[in-house]
Amino acid sequence: MIKLQNLEKAYESGAGKTFVLRRISMDIREGEFVSIMGPSGSGKSTLLSILGMLDGTWTGEYFFEETAVHKANPKQRAALHKQYMGFVFQSYHLLDNLTVQENLDIPLSYRDINKRERESIVADILDRFQIVGKKDLYPNQLSGGQQQLVAVARAVIASPKLVLADEPTGNLHSSQGKEIMELFKRLNNEGTTIIQVTHSEQNAAYGNRVVQLADGWIANQS
């Protein structure tokens, strides 16, 4: 599904360059559950952003489903992102002004799906994630765990092949974190590829592969 070849990212700093990622080469197959780990500043989140096509300023080769992302323009990258990916963030990033139901509808509304179909998809996902009772509440009326649950539901609502999660349990207490990780596991079992950034060995254990980063290099990958 994903193939990276000598991918590098650097910032210009004074006379030289500061590398954030160096010679990253890796393959991720469809159906995998990969955890990217490493100390703070090792480049985990940057790598996740590049994989998720939120960042287009890097060098090297990146193939996604046979498409050469390194040759794609921003519009084509955005289209790939829209078609294949869902994102989950550490601090949920729900839109405060929208209800749960409307937050779930947002990705669909950007994908040219008609209203009736969208309503049915949203109803389905509310049911699947057991949050029907919360559909008219605003994010600030939910607990952190509930917000992240909605965020995961929103990430998968457009049936992405790949879900990217940046420290999805970082702001949750352990029982809520466990619930979310089990949800990811279930999604993975249903066929969704998952790549998460995590500090937690416990969370990494839900996946089947770990990529260790240190100072922008791959230190180890199982």
**Binding segment for another protein among 30-38, 52-60, 124-132, 199-207 (CB under 8 A)?**
52-60
Question: Looking at 17, 29, 71, 111, which residue binds another protein (CB under 8 A)?
Answer: 111
In the complex, minimum distance from the CB of residue 106 to another protein, in angstroms, rounded to a whole number: 5
Number of residues that make up the chain: 222
Report CA-CA distances (Å) from 47 to 57, 116, 120: 12, 37, 35
The one-letter amino acid code at 203 reads N
Of residues 114, 133, 190, 191, which one binds another protein by CB under 8 A?
114
Binding segment (CB under 8 A) for another protein, from list 50-58, 126-134, 139-147, 209-217: 50-58
Q: Is 23 in the site for another protein (CB under 8 A)?
A: no
Contact pick of 1, 10, 106, 214 for another protein (by CB under 8 A) = 106
* Site size toward another protein, by CB under 8 A: 32
Closer Cβ to another protein, 45 or 188, answer by number: 45
CA 41 → CA 8, 24, 37, 140, 168, distances in Å? 15, 16, 11, 30, 18
168 near another protein (CB under 8 A): no
Residue whose structure tokens are 């969704």: 192
Q: Can you tell me whether residue 160 is helix, strand or coil?
A: coil
Residue (18 or 189) nearer to another protein, CB: 18
Per CB under 8 A, does 91 bind another protein? yes
Q: To 10 degrees, the CA torsion angle through 36, 180, 126, 29? A: 30
89 lines the binding site for another protein (CB under 8 A): yes
Query: What DSSP line would sit under 78-116, residue for residue?
Result: HHHHHHHEEEE-TT----TTS-HHHHHHHHHHTTT--HH
- The 10 Å CB-count burial string (b at 16+, else e) for 1-19 is bbbbeebebbeeeeeeeee
The angle that helices 144-156 and 174-189 make with each other, rounded to 10 degrees, is 10
Position 81 contacts another protein (CB under 8 A)? yes
Kindly state whether residue 140 participates in binding another protein, applying the rule CB under 8 A.
no
| Residues forming the site for another protein (CB under 8 A) | 45-46, 49, 52, 54-55, 78, 81-82, 87, 89-91, 93-98, 102, 106-107, 109-111, 114-115, 154, 158, 166-167, 170
